[in-house]
Amino acid sequence: MAEMTIGRTSDNFAIHLPELVDPVTESDDFGRANEGLLFIPTLQGRIDVGTQSVRCALVDSSGIVKTVAIRPIQTWSPSDNLYQQSSENIWQACCASCKDVISSSEIDKSLIDGIGFDATCSLVVLDKHFNPLSVNLKNDNDEIERPVQDVIMWMDHRAATQAHFINAKNYDSLKSVGGKISLEMQPPKLLWLKENMPKKWWQNAGYFMDLPDYLTWRATKSLTRSLCSVTCKWLFSGDGNLGWDKFMWKQIGLQDVLQDTLVLEPGKACGSGLTSESAQELGLKAEVAVGASLIDAYAGALGLLACNPAIDLHLQDVSSKLAIICGTSTCHIAISQIAKFVPGVWGPYFSVLIPKFWTNEGGQSVTGKLLDYIITSHPSFIRRSKPDQDLNLVYKELHQHLLAMHREEKNANVAHLADQLHVYPDFHGNRSPLADSSLKGMVCGLTLNSSIRDLAIYYLATIQALAYSTKQIIGAMETAGHSFRCILMCGGLAKNDLYVTTHADVMGLPVIRPNEPESVLLGSAMLGAVAAGEFTSLENAMNRMGGEGHVTFPQENTRL
């Protein structure tokens, strides 16, 4: 078996564009100024590969997203719990969105000198010649499949049996993932491939990569891997004893995929920058610096943790902030200066986000998708829906219905409208803190009512369920020693006022939303800025690019 390329899904792309300004001071750590440095801000180019689309952005050095271009990507679901994509389709979307953003901004591409990528933690499979290798079980690799489905998505749950097999062995390395490996991580998926694909397929397999690392390889042809990807999804150890738990990999029958490779902290420069081929595909100049990637949620956490509200909430200690990145799924990311082991919560991971800090990651699987499902499966929506209905507008309409019902019924608070309907939100299993992918969702209190008012209450009850699930995750983290003074939030659901206020009320904590809402793009842009040498470290980039945010405070008399 050829070398295993390790990494994390890198869905973001950052471009870095210089323009001279007055000298400023640059911070060499959180809050400590390093005087006398001449800083020349740039526009950063950043590509974010999400579950449904690729976004490329230009971000200036003060942390403002100037231009964004979006291209859709394809997903295939050949059967229940199987989700696949194409690395070639994703890369072409990256190239197209990059050209779109340069064209729309009318910038001189020669000014772009840094790129950052982030992506979902999906598994990319290539053959020994770096060609896509189909993961489709029904494809015998002699069939023509265009484009080749060579990506097992992060939310694919085919490897439940393999995850159970690994967890039954109680390996020491499982301590770094809350005591249980998730079926969404790469070792179970690799084991599934070895056990279920034809022997010839396994012999042809040459490289296994996380999507973020695939993107930096595609851009630079460097097989360096991001410490974020290999630690968080492959159980690599980065806490002083760098390397793999070779005993575990041998015991589960996957020792043949391991080979030593260069692992870089996020933002470190990959190879010699863009190759001539990739530069032409992206519409950029060759040798533009490319930063080691981040998983998409971690890019969001980097952007969030750099944010401070305009009012003083005494948040000088970055470890007092909890970053919540809420999109198709929701990730809860906390950092600390000492390792904190939290049962059912991933981590602690060393230096995967900010150098010398430990990171814990809790999560809820397919939260945004759950809200979409609750709405689109309700009779009221089915009767009223139109082709290509914008669900964000539906969210707003349902919120207005709730406010009207609140006024009519004279409840103390909107929250009490759902006191007779209760949702258990683990429709796709529980990621944290129960770490049980077999759990199912439940609704208690259903009636024969199929009106828009009933849908509004159902929508509210689901949001409340997600908030109380977050409270359960925070409780597990705080029991292990974390202490939070605020929540920072980004992603699609962070634009939903009802979702935000419900979380503030249930947690009893202020929620900060950055003035620059594209925190994932911002975090990825920081990678490109550091790789290009505009900042000496990610901490410097955070201090310069973090910006301010607005605060939603918890209300009284809202807890059920």
Q: Give the ranges where 293-366 is alpha helix by DSSP (H).
A: 296-305
- The predicted structure's pLDDT at residue 558: 61
CATH number given to 311-514: 3.30.420.40
SS3 436: strand
Residue 3 DSSP symbol: P
Residue spans of beta strands (DSSP E) within 346-505: 346-350, 358-364, 422-424, 442-444, 486-490
Instruction: Judge whether 13 and 56 are in contact, CB under 8 Å.
Output: yes
Cα 49 to Cα 16, 89, 248, 303, 523: the distances in Å are 18, 11, 31, 16, 13
- The predicted structure's pLDDT at residue 111: 80
Name the CATH topology of 43-296. Answer: Nucleotidyltransferase; domain 5 (3.30.420)
Round to whole Å and give the CA distance between 1 and 207. Answer: 9
Cα-Cα end-to-end distance for the chain:
56
Q: Do domains 43-296 and 311-514 have the same CATH topology?
A: yes
The residue assigned the tokens 């999560």 is 363
SS3 string, 6-23, reads CCCCCCEEEECCECCCCC
Round to whole Å and give the CA distance between 227 and 304. Answer: 20
- The predicted structure's pLDDT at residue 551: 94
Hey, what amino acid is at 449?
A: N
Count of Cβ atoms closer than 10 Å to residue 420 Cβ = 11
**Structural domain boundaries in the chain:** 43-296, 311-514
Round to whole Å and give the CA distance between 355 and 512. Answer: 24
Helices and strands counted in the chain (H then E): 16, 24
Phi-psi region at 31: left, alpha or beta (left = phi > 0; alpha = psi -120 to 50): left
Strand partners, 116: 46, 291
Instruction: Judge whether 303 and 264 are in contact, CB under 8 Å.
Output: no
- The predicted structure's pLDDT at residue 5: 34
Strand partners, 225: 263
**433: cis peptide before it, omega within 30°?**
yes
Element (H, E) at 151: strand 151-152
Judged on CB neighbours under 10 Å (0-12, 13-18, 19+), 473 is buried
Round to whole Å and give the CA distance between 470 and 503. Answer: 8
- The predicted structure's pLDDT at residue 323: 97
- The predicted structure's pLDDT at residue 32: 30
- Report residue 244 as tokens: 């793999």
Phi, psi of 24 (to 5 degrees): -135, 165
The residue assigned the tokens 């393999």 is 162
pTM of the entire structure?
0.89
560 residues of the chain, pLDDT tens digit each: 333 333 223 334 333 333 322 323 333 333 333 222 222 335 556 788 888 999 999 988 888 888 999 999 999 999 999 999 999 999 999 999 999 999 998 888 888 889 999 999 999 999 999 999 999 987 555 556 789 999 999 999 999 999 999 999 999 999 999 999 999 999 999 999 999 999 999 999 999 999 999 999 999 999 999 999 999 999 998 776 778 999 999 999 999 898 778 999 999 999 999 999 999 999 999 999 999 999 999 999 999 999 988 777 666 788 999 999 998 899 999 999 999 999 999 999 999 999 999 999 999 988 999 999 999 999 999 998 887 788 989 999 999 999 999 999 876 689 999 999 999 999 999 999 999 999 999 999 999 999 999 999 999 999 999 999 999 999 999 999 999 999 999 999 999 999 999 999 999 999 999 999 999 999 999 999 999 999 999 999 999 998 899 999 998 766 55
Round to whole Å and give the CA distance between 446 and 349. Answer: 42
Count of Cβ atoms closer than 10 Å to residue 390 Cβ = 9
Query: How would DSSP label each residue in 522-533?
Result: HHHHHHHHHHTT
- Report residue 134 as tokens: 């189909």
- The predicted structure's pLDDT at residue 181: 96
